[in-house]
Amino acid sequence: MMEAASKEVLNVSRDHNSYKKLLKGLIVQSLLRLKEPAVLLRCRKDDHHLVESVLESAKEEYAQKLQVHPPEIIVDHHIYLPPGPGHHNAHGPSCSGGVVVASRDGKIVCENTLDARLDVVFRKKLPEIRKQLVSQVAA
Protein backbone atom coordinates (compact mmCIF):
# COMPACT_ATOMS: atom_id res chain seq x y z
CA MET A 1 0.00 0.00 0.00
CA MET A 2 2.80 2.37 0.96
CA GLU A 3 4.72 1.46 -2.20
CA ALA A 4 1.70 2.23 -4.40
CA ALA A 5 1.19 5.57 -2.66
CA SER A 6 4.90 6.39 -3.10
CA LYS A 7 4.60 5.82 -6.84
CA GLU A 8 1.60 8.15 -7.00
CA VAL A 9 3.44 10.82 -5.01
CA LEU A 10 6.29 10.67 -7.51
CA ASN A 11 3.81 11.61 -10.26
CA VAL A 12 3.03 14.87 -8.44
CA SER A 13 6.44 16.32 -9.32
CA ARG A 14 5.99 15.51 -13.01
CA ASP A 15 3.26 18.13 -13.57
CA HIS A 16 5.42 21.27 -13.44
CA ASN A 17 2.59 23.81 -13.05
CA SER A 18 0.87 22.13 -10.10
CA TYR A 19 4.21 21.05 -8.59
CA LYS A 20 5.48 24.63 -8.74
CA LYS A 21 2.44 25.78 -6.74
CA LEU A 22 2.95 22.91 -4.31
CA LEU A 23 6.62 23.82 -3.81
CA LYS A 24 5.66 27.41 -3.02
CA GLY A 25 3.11 26.18 -0.48
CA LEU A 26 5.65 23.82 1.11
CA ILE A 27 8.19 26.63 1.40
CA VAL A 28 5.64 29.03 2.96
CA GLN A 29 4.49 26.31 5.37
CA SER A 30 8.10 25.57 6.37
CA LEU A 31 8.78 29.26 6.96
CA LEU A 32 5.64 29.54 9.10
CA ARG A 33 6.79 26.59 11.21
CA LEU A 34 10.32 27.91 11.70
CA LYS A 35 9.53 31.65 12.03
CA GLU A 36 13.22 32.45 11.47
CA PRO A 37 14.55 35.62 9.78
CA ALA A 38 17.04 33.56 7.73
CA VAL A 39 16.88 29.93 6.63
CA LEU A 40 18.74 27.37 4.55
CA LEU A 41 16.70 25.51 1.93
CA ARG A 42 17.55 22.20 0.26
CA CYS A 43 15.76 20.64 -2.67
CA ARG A 44 16.42 18.08 -5.37
CA LYS A 45 18.80 19.20 -8.11
CA ASP A 46 15.98 18.65 -10.64
CA ASP A 47 13.73 21.04 -8.67
CA HIS A 48 16.30 23.80 -8.23
CA HIS A 49 14.96 26.02 -11.05
CA LEU A 50 11.34 25.60 -9.89
CA VAL A 51 12.27 26.48 -6.30
CA GLU A 52 14.19 29.56 -7.45
CA SER A 53 11.18 30.67 -9.51
CA VAL A 54 8.80 30.68 -6.51
CA LEU A 55 11.15 31.97 -3.77
CA GLU A 56 10.24 35.65 -3.99
CA SER A 57 6.50 35.04 -3.97
CA ALA A 58 6.87 32.54 -1.10
CA LYS A 59 8.85 35.08 0.94
CA GLU A 60 6.24 37.77 0.27
CA GLU A 61 3.34 35.48 1.19
CA TYR A 62 5.07 34.54 4.45
CA ALA A 63 5.83 38.20 5.26
CA GLN A 64 2.20 39.21 4.60
CA LYS A 65 0.79 36.42 6.77
CA LEU A 66 2.98 37.26 9.77
CA GLN A 67 3.32 41.01 9.13
CA VAL A 68 7.13 40.75 9.22
CA HIS A 69 9.98 41.46 6.82
CA PRO A 70 10.53 38.80 4.17
CA PRO A 71 13.05 36.21 5.39
CA GLU A 72 16.41 35.55 3.82
CA ILE A 73 16.32 32.16 2.11
CA ILE A 74 19.65 30.65 1.17
CA VAL A 75 19.30 27.83 -1.32
CA ASP A 76 22.01 25.22 -0.79
CA HIS A 77 23.85 24.84 -4.11
CA HIS A 78 26.30 22.25 -2.74
CA ILE A 79 24.12 19.63 -1.10
CA TYR A 80 20.91 18.54 -2.78
CA LEU A 81 18.20 16.14 -1.68
CA PRO A 82 18.51 12.76 -3.42
CA PRO A 83 16.85 12.34 -6.82
CA GLY A 84 13.51 10.59 -7.21
CA PRO A 85 13.43 6.80 -7.08
CA GLY A 86 14.43 5.18 -10.33
CA HIS A 87 16.27 2.31 -11.90
CA HIS A 88 19.71 3.91 -11.50
CA ASN A 89 19.34 4.33 -7.71
CA ALA A 90 16.80 1.62 -6.89
CA HIS A 91 18.42 0.76 -3.55
CA GLY A 92 19.90 4.13 -2.61
CA PRO A 93 18.28 7.09 -0.89
CA SER A 94 15.59 8.88 -2.87
CA CYS A 95 13.28 11.86 -2.60
CA SER A 96 10.04 12.28 -4.54
CA GLY A 97 10.12 16.07 -4.20
CA GLY A 98 9.53 18.89 -1.76
CA VAL A 99 11.95 20.84 0.41
CA VAL A 100 13.89 20.71 3.64
CA VAL A 101 14.19 24.07 5.38
CA ALA A 102 16.45 24.66 8.38
CA SER A 103 17.44 27.51 10.64
CA ARG A 104 20.85 28.96 9.76
CA ASP A 105 22.49 27.11 12.67
CA GLY A 106 20.81 23.84 11.64
CA LYS A 107 19.22 23.30 15.05
CA ILE A 108 15.65 23.52 13.76
CA VAL A 109 14.75 21.52 10.66
CA CYS A 110 11.44 21.28 8.83
CA GLU A 111 11.42 18.28 6.51
CA ASN A 112 8.65 19.12 4.10
CA THR A 113 9.36 16.53 1.42
CA LEU A 114 6.58 14.59 -0.25
CA ASP A 115 8.03 11.38 1.21
CA ALA A 116 8.01 12.78 4.76
CA ARG A 117 4.42 13.97 4.37
CA LEU A 118 3.34 10.58 3.00
CA ASP A 119 5.03 8.89 5.95
CA VAL A 120 3.14 11.10 8.43
CA VAL A 121 -0.19 10.37 6.74
CA PHE A 122 0.57 6.65 6.62
CA ARG A 123 1.44 6.54 10.35
CA LYS A 124 -1.72 8.45 11.27
CA LYS A 125 -3.87 6.11 9.19
CA LEU A 126 -2.09 2.91 10.28
CA PRO A 127 -4.65 1.97 12.98
CA GLU A 128 -7.46 2.44 10.47
CA ILE A 129 -5.59 0.39 7.83
CA ARG A 130 -4.96 -2.41 10.34
CA LYS A 131 -8.63 -2.42 11.32
CA GLN A 132 -9.72 -2.77 7.69
CA LEU A 133 -7.17 -5.51 7.01
CA VAL A 134 -8.25 -7.49 10.07
CA SER A 135 -11.95 -7.17 9.11
CA GLN A 136 -11.16 -8.33 5.56
CA VAL A 137 -9.21 -11.35 6.82
CA ALA A 138 -12.01 -12.26 9.27
CA ALA A 139 -14.67 -12.09 6.54
By the 8 A CB rule, do 102 and 117 touch? Answer: no
Looking at residue 57, the DSSP 8-state letter turns out to be H
CB 24 within 8 A of CB 104: no
Q: What is the pTM of this model?
A: 0.84
Q: What is the pLDDT of residues 49-93, one digit of tens each?
A: 999 999 999 999 999 999 999 999 999 999 999 998 775 666 678
Residues 6 or more apart from 7 whose CB is under 8 A from it? none
Between 3.40.120.10, 3.40.50.620, 3.40.50.261, 3.30.2320.30, what CATH number should domain 1-135 receive?
A: 3.30.2320.30
Model confidence at 139, pLDDT cuts 50, 70, 90, reads low
Residues with Cβ within 8 Å of residue 18, at least 6 apart in sequence: 12
